[in-house]
Structure 1
Amino acid sequence: MLFRVTSSRTRLLVGVALLFAGLLAGALLLAERLATARAVDGVAERARASAILLASGYRRELDKFNLLPIALAGDAEARAALLTRDPALIEVVNRKLEALSAETGAANVYLLDARGRTVAASNWQLPGSFVGDDYSFRGYFRDAMRAQSAQQFALGQRSRKPGLYITRRIDAGGQALGVFVVKVDFRALEREWREATNAAFVTDGRGIILVSADPAWRFQTIRPLSDEERATARRSLEYGAAPLVENALFRSAVVRREGQAGLHRAAFVEAVEPVHGWQVHVIVGTAAAVASAITFARLAVGIAALGIVALYLLWRHRRRNEETRIAAAADKRLAALREQLIQANKLATLGQVTAGVAHEINQPVAAIGAYAHNAALLLDRDRLPEAREAIGHIAALTERIGSITREMRGFARRAPGEIGRLSVNDVFDGIRLLLRDRLTILGAEFVTSGPDVCVRAERVRVEQVLLNLVQNALDAGARTITATTVETWDRVRIVITDDGPGIDPGMRDALFQPFRTSKQSGLGLGLVISRDIVAELGGTLTAGHPAKGAEFIVELERSE
């Protein structure tokens, strides 16, 4: 039964541990997912804010240069130079454009005639001057001649450096005279972006990267181009020999674009801000933020789990303390009840021997009365020797009565004496004294044999046990009860045998169970109490299997 209860408890504990482990794993998984989602959302918010900031700077840069060709288109000297081709006027325009380029930071500012040839340029004195070059093939020239103004991002024909070309047509008398061109170089802006982030860039309507903090990304795409789009870009000569391949970052499914709700494990998030038909992109990595968020989430779950475990251990500790307190109180009550049972058993046993003890006392008392009367007569007759003899008999009889009453008081006292060195034969003498009258009436005898040895015990308790065993034998009809003492090197065995009918086989297995008895008026507590007393003394009480009668064996610790 104990094994079954222990096994059930173990299975319950294992089940609770597995359930807690499962809940902890689920909490960790949920916390990681929530932390990852929040971290990615936070990165997306920062990317969005960065995109707005960078787009604002990029817009200001464009707005500054967009005004420049509009202002130049109204220049009277430029218009006159186109009409007259006067070298002096052309030089004036060249110097004006040179100063304007230096002042505004434009890469180049130049004037084209109606056929697309350069008439004046800000670099007119440099070896790579545009003066005389034909740009009629450029889209920005053709679009401006047709629609008054235009923009085009392309590689420079001479410098092979990319830039934005902003153009404005010059009219006079309803006739198109030429086009002013301002080239914007974004290299300074790209350097600023590189200091802020390595993943900021600008794309056109086809998704081609034009301006980028990372120069290697320029003229790559954020989506695959169709064959028609690729052919159109080739014909315009805007991108030179660039292959216009899709960017590797966008080719992999690791970028969560703005507006997407999923892709919580995205390695990067993208924010986009439109500027004048183009788009400013900011790409921000999520690895550091996600790792930090997951670490924090795991730590939080771990702390929560430790808190739960600590609360459980505290509850268990308090429960154990309460159980210990209750068990101690129960043990105390049980000990008190057991002591009461032991005392009741002693008093019951004492009640059985009271009649015999009274007879033992009555005889000396009657003799004392006779001796006292005779002593008085002898004193009156001055027969002093005979009187002294009578008084001596009185003293001897009084001592006999005192020994009987002392034995009864010692046996009846409630509190046990101290455990110490105890002679087994002294215990036997006490039993003879208490049972002498009953033995005489029943014609029974109590026989002892074996060496006079000492045990480590308390007299009243041992006397109570042996008296119970002898009384039980007498109650069963035995007429010869033998107590044999056998000693070993550390134990003393007291074997109580009788010539009675023996133990009923049906009662043998229940001998030491409470309320099981073969007596009509018994409670079945004598042997139970006796066994508990011997156990408290560090010994054992068992039933033997003799061929005839009954046998009980009391084993106690030997005392030197």
Structure 2
Amino acid sequence: MQARHLFAKFFRSDTRFLVLIAILVTSSIGWICYEYTTHNQLSELEQRQLSFLNLFQQNIHQQINKYGLLPLYLSHDKRVMETLNAPLTAARQKSLNRYLEHLNQAVGAIASYIMNDKGVVIAASNSQQRDSFVGRDLSYRPYFRTAQDNQVNGYYGIGTTSARPGYFLTTAIMRDGQRLGVAVTKVSLNSFKQDSFHGQHPVLLTDRYGVVVISSLKHWQYRSLKPLSESVLKKLNQTQRYDHRVLQSLHWQTLQTLNQTAEMVAISIDGHRQSYLAVSRYMPKLRMTLTVLTSANSVHSLAYSRSFAVGTLSAVLFLVWLSLVLRHKALTIRRQSQFALEELNTHLEEKVAKRSSQLRETIAKLRAEIDEKNKAFEQLKGFQKELIRTENHAVIGQLSAGIAHEINQPLAALSTLSGNTERFLEQGDVENVKSNLQRISSLVDRLAKLTTQLRNFSRRGDDHLSVIDIDSCIDGALQLLNYQIRKAQVQVACYAPAKPLYTRANAVQLEQVLVNLISNAVDALENNEKKLIDIYWYSNTHRICIQIYDNGVGLTDAVKKHLFEPFFTTKKNTGLGLGLALSASIIRHFDGKLLAESQNPGSCFTIELPVLTGDKYE
């Protein structure tokens, strides 16, 4: 049987290990397939976009070379040089304006104009238009300062006069080493956009600051790839390159650099984040960068689908293999289980008999322990009752002097009245004889009541609870302590409720508690000049409260801490220290509480008992 359990445990652990290995292998195959597919797809996309970039670069170089011939031609034109070299007259300016207008129409540029050495436009092809450049001081433009002889330079910007963007091709006009001015041709790059910016992939043309000059997505134009620094923004504003436009950021973030021309990027616009494959090519002639963006979603979707398919196929193959392995192991386990079952049946009756014998012995031991504990509990209850009775007798012993005095006084009076009655009979005085007999009967009743109460207080009672009257118990306790109270010259005031209060308790035991508490209160007033004890009993919603106040020495914190512990007492010459401990135990048996608190002055002991309405507790 043990061997079978060990084998089953090994089988379960072995199967879990195989499943774990299968999950790892399947995940690894899926991941490899995903990485391989992603890499191939990105490589194919990169090659296609590089081909597009090559075509665009060739196209734009051809266009720039074509338009660049005009400023280069104007820089060597005699009419232009004569106009710049001689005083400018209206006739010369008009003639040059018409000449520039004719040339500009021939090449299809936006505008062509001539600037003197101060950067002021002296002639322009758009002289007849409202946004004519003639007379404009454009010396702040960088292309004026950077123009060179026999070389065409390019500069992109937004026109400050027409607010129309364009690419400015410039050549310096030189004569004998002296710079006379600059020839400028402004062309539109929209023709390049119409020819090349087509298809479903976003295309960007950015300057060296990362500002999008042209985009197939209109709302991306004049946005920066990344937030621009304060110095760059200041420089762009000074040159009015973008005519003081607010250049918002695309929040371009490089996720992964694949090679020198390709990288994975993320662009965030208006809280929307999109990942792209960015393939870029720098164009020296324009001094700009052309970038083609391809959404990575299609690549990842294809990679996910292929990796899922490969992973699923691997998982299916593993499940087939695992089912064969499990079937073989199941057959092995079945054979071993049959053998183990036969072995188990052989020893089962013996084990059942042995276990039954053990159970019978255990039950016998438990019964013996229960009987022993019940005997101990009954013995403990007997000890507690005997302890209460002993304490009761101790209280009677303390009250013996007072009780003897209470009995001796009526006995002396009885003796005197008996002698007087004999003389009155001899004299025939019937009235006095009758009066003395009545007084003797009253004294006998008084002695009978006192002895009855003393007998009830000292008798061995049981724990039976019954409905009792609180007033009777308090009255009985005060009668037993009457001599002690009068001898100590204590004033006792009782404050009874308007209606009698009833509870379920043992009258003798409750009276014993009251005698103990009132006697303690009398002892606490030993050194007081004015000795007062107030006894209140009343009821609230659920409880009856009996409170015994005295104006004695009170209770310290140290005394309160051990007040209800057995054998703890503050009396030096009398008492065993059991009174309060037994009193608290008795009150708990009544489902009540015995509480003590210090007053200023004196102390207060409170007995709380359940209120009895009819035959039930509230």
TM-score (structure 1 length as normaliser): 0.49
Higher RCO by CA contacts (8 Å cutoff, separation 6 or greater): 1
